[in-house]
A and B are shown apart, each in its own frame.
Chain A
Amino acid sequence: MILIKKLTKLLAAVLSITLLSGCWDQNELNARAIVIGVAVDRGEHAPVKITAQIARASAIDTPQKGKSAGEKSYWNIENEGQTIFDIIRGFNHESSRKLYFPHNQIIMISKELAEEGILQYLDFFMRDHETRLDVDIAVAEGKAAQLLDVKPELETLPAINLSIIINSYQPMSHIISVDLHEFMDMLIGYSAAICPIVNLSHQSGMEVLGVTGTAVFIRDKMVGYLDPNMTRGMLWAKNKVKGGIVSVTDGQGQFEVEIKKATSKRKLEYVDGKLKVKIKAKLEGTIGSHTGGAKIQDPEVIKKIENLCNQRIKEEIVVAHDEAKRLKADVFDYANELYKKSPKLWEQIKQDWPNIFENMELDIDASTNISGTGRIVQPVIPN
């Protein structure tokens, strides 16, 4: 009797452990098609066309197999339909393996669709349990699908190549990368959403991928873009400059100042229906190259370069603000900051915000400290 009771308890425990759990998704690796990139375009026969890039495991060269020549390492599968979910389910008719999204690196949406509003395309990726929120979001100039077909020279897979290019924005701070989670946050907030724009250009017969700027959204519709310079201006205002080069010229030669450390502080004040923003940018850098013959060991020359840098930083910030004001898009997160500071105040000025943003006052204070000149001080043949 006791044994039966014990066994019943054990059985109950084992059954609840196995049957009440949520993990029943056993799937062998070679039964999955690993999606690494998604491009959303307008379809020819239906409203939406999706191109999904699937990594072909058999063709990826590993040290063990060596390079398999001629075989494409990816497969771009296309389908058209009414909605994203509809199309993705449809892929299962075309592919022998079930599409697997967690390793998706990038979602690209063509500019054409982005200008009409992109939320309807992203909703599936936000909602589904298998997709991940750390996937990069980008707007493609022209057709998004063609970007997934550019064979990279160094990487094996185009989507991974794209993702690496977008994420390597630190060296210049001229471009940004935004993942789906950040993008959702921006859409939820009161400021404007932004994401990088990727472009395919042809240079001397070669296909060259590049990030050409930052797309600016009002609600979920793309309204314009910031070029790389403006993007850095925006990053200065948001204290997000990580590196890069500030190049200035004194009329005789060019100084390229490499950013070692860049910080900025800002202060928002709303007084008498007017928004005043004070930005204090601080740059610590070294001279990376000089094309003239300036006597750099002279403190006066250093001072001059520092002043030129200050001016250049100010310019960048101002240009970014001008363009943002023109687009009526608050890409600097001012609205969110005001809301966080005082939700009550934000409730009062919410209606008038585009106006307030347009008429905001900007006060920039930049200071540069050149802390080094590299291996040499002055050019080897000075003036």
Chain B
Amino acid sequence: MKGFFRKFNFTTQLEGQKRRKELISANVDENVDKFKKITNNSADFIYRSLKFNGKKVVLIYINGFVDSKEIGENVVNPIQKNKDKDIKLKDVINVGNIQDTNDFYEMVDEVLSGKTAVLQEGEKLVLLVDCFSYNKRSVTEPLTELVVKGPREAFTESILTNVALIRKRIKSPNLVFENYTIGRETRTSVSLCYLKGIARDSLVDDIKNKLREIETDSIIDSGYIEQFLDQNPLSIFPTISYTEKPDVAAGKILEGRCAIVVDGSPQVLTLPMFFIEAFQAAEDYYIRPLYALIARNLRMLAFVVSVLSPAFYVALTTYHQELLPTTLLFTIASTREGLPFPGMFEIMIMLVVYEILREAGIRMPRTIGPAISIVGALVMGETAVNAGVVGPAVLIIVAFSAIASFVVPQLVDTGFYIRFLLLILGAGLGLYGITIGILGLLIHLSTLRTFGVPYLSPIAPFSYHNNKDTFIRVPLYLMKRRPDHLAGENKIRSGFSKKYVKEKLSDNNYQK
């Protein structure tokens, strides 16, 4: 029996390819018995027997997946009170979404994902009624990607809500959602979303194939899908992005990317991801371009500072003291006086301590948060310096590096690797080592590809036209075409003429 089940599940999950088909019997009790056998008599199924025109009718649904009030009013009540002998069962039920099937396994699948099956004596078709209702979290503000200016809706754990949130922003008929059921046991709904014509066909096909190839028992979060789709699992750089905000997902879809919505996950994957994407915040497009430019370059600077400052500190104080201004050298030297550990070891300790504090900060229950903060900030920092275990300069470097790393949240883990890599190189070989490390990273970055496109594009390979949203975010009316490295045949973004742009940017604009 077990073997049978494995086979059954496996075949159904390959969407419509080798689906095993078994017809529904005209005998209701036979069907119900078969259903109970397949579901191992699980307690959360509800079997409700009714009479319709003297014939037996059985409803099968999962307790908790179905709105009991709705099923009572719109399904059970009309069936029981019906007196018209000529009317069909389908026409009695007051629910919008009703399908029918003669496939027994399709019925099982649909019941498992929340529909109500209506079996009727003497009928070889089963009605699948959608009374789905699940106690879900409502749409709230995002917890991670916060904005001052811009929409505040966030995805929830429900795929229905998430799909609707995207559709709400792109009402084009070209917006396509393709559903997959992935996971032998979890049978998770996964929805691939793209704009036909704007997303490149080859990219969409590639992702479709990859989704079909996934052979696993469970998909619990979009992170699972991310790992199955990741083509550079050994790289320290992420090549698949994720977002909690529907507006961000819509923006990425409009640039020619695909989005993958996974049931049960409030993070929607967008792919492919380029290096520059980590520095593009949603707000960049909602605020005025000049400040977007400043903010974005500040983010890049913060990332560089965050990964380089510990390595630089160690390299300068242990190899290149001559590079420090004399007064600064005295300041650092006087704080280093009498410290027991070498500079490299000292900064390493503090970085590890910081990582532990961060991990604790994420994991701990909220009620004990303040206690950890006090221990972390006061005991570890202040006291470590006063006790002469670490120098204050090290503390400044580590703290600044830590704060700066959060400016680019998508690269926090990448920054962690780079920071330690450069720190070790800087401590072993000085600035020479740091240079080698940076060169190595650049070589790696430029060999990296995400779904066939260079990871560093559009910076390398460079083209002026594609660089309107990298270091400088040009005004939206100047972004006339979608980036070449992403878009399919539909490349036109805005159709403003040169005259419009010229007038827009001229001084006497206000007179009109």
Contacts and interface: CB of A to CB of B under 8 A. Distances in A.
Contacts of B333: 29-30, 32, 34, 55, 57, 60
A64 B318 contact: no
Contacts of A30: 333, 336-339
A65 interface: yes
Interface string B367-392: 00000000000000000000000001
A132 interface: yes
A60 B342 CA distance: 21
B45 interface: no
A62 B334 contact: yes
Interface string B107-132: 00000000000000000000000000
B144 interface: no
Contacts of A32: 321, 333
B424 to A, nearest CB: 12
Contact of A17 (B334, B343, B436): B436
Nearest to A100: B321
B334 A28 contact: no
Contact of B392 (A64, A132, A160): A64
Contact of A23 (B335, B336, B337, B430): B430
A376 B332 CA distance: 49
B429 A28 contact: no
Interface string A297-326: 000000000000000000000000000000
Given A29-B317, A29-B343, A30-B336, A57 B330 contact: yes
B328 to A, nearest CB: 11
B22 interface: no
Contacts of A17: 429, 436
B319 A26 contact: yes
A351 interface: no
A30 B341 CA distance: 10
Interface magnitude class on chain B: 20 to 34
A18 B429 CA distance: 7
Given A57-B330, A58-B337, A26 B318 contact: yes
Contact of B331 (A18, A21, A23, A62): A62
Interface string A87-111: 0000000000000101101000000
B329 interface: yes
A28 B336 contact: yes
Contacts of A18: 428-429
A17 B429 CA distance: 10
B321 A102 contact: yes
Contacts of A132: 322
Interface string A51-81: 0000101101010110000000000000000
Contacts of B331: 60, 62
Interface in B321-371: 321-322, 326, 329-339, 342-343
Contact of A57 (B322, B337, B392, B431): B337
A204 interface: no
A23 B331 CA distance: 25
Central interface residue in B326, B334, B430, by most chain A CB within 10 Å: B334
A28 B339 CA distance: 11
A29 B339 CA distance: 10
A160 B321 CA distance: 17
A153 interface: no
A55 B328 CA distance: 13
A13 to B, nearest CB: 10
A30 B340 CA distance: 10
Contacts of B329: 29, 34, 103
A29 B326 contact: no
B291 interface: no
A34 B326 CA distance: 10
Nearest to B430: A23
B326 A36 contact: yes
B432 interface: yes
B322 A102 contact: yes
Interface string A1-28: 0000000000000000110010101111
Contacts of A26: 318-319, 430
A64 B335 contact: yes
Contact of B336 (A25, A29, A36, A103): A29
Given A57-B333, A58-B334, 10 more contacts: A21-B429, A23-B432, A27-B318, A28-B317, A29-B332, A30-B338, A55-B330, A62-B335, A102-B322, A130-B322
Please name the 6 residue pairs, one residue from A and one from B, whose CB atoms are nearest each other, closest first: A102-B322, A57-B333, A58-B337, A57-B334, A29-B336, A23-B430
25 contacts: A18-B428, A18-B429, A21-B432, A23-B429, A26-B318, A26-B319, A28-B318, A28-B342, A28-B343, A29-B329, A29-B336, A30-B333, A30-B337, A30-B338, A30-B339, A32-B321, A34-B330, A55-B330, A57-B330, A57-B334, A62-B335, A64-B335, A64-B392, A103-B321, A132-B322
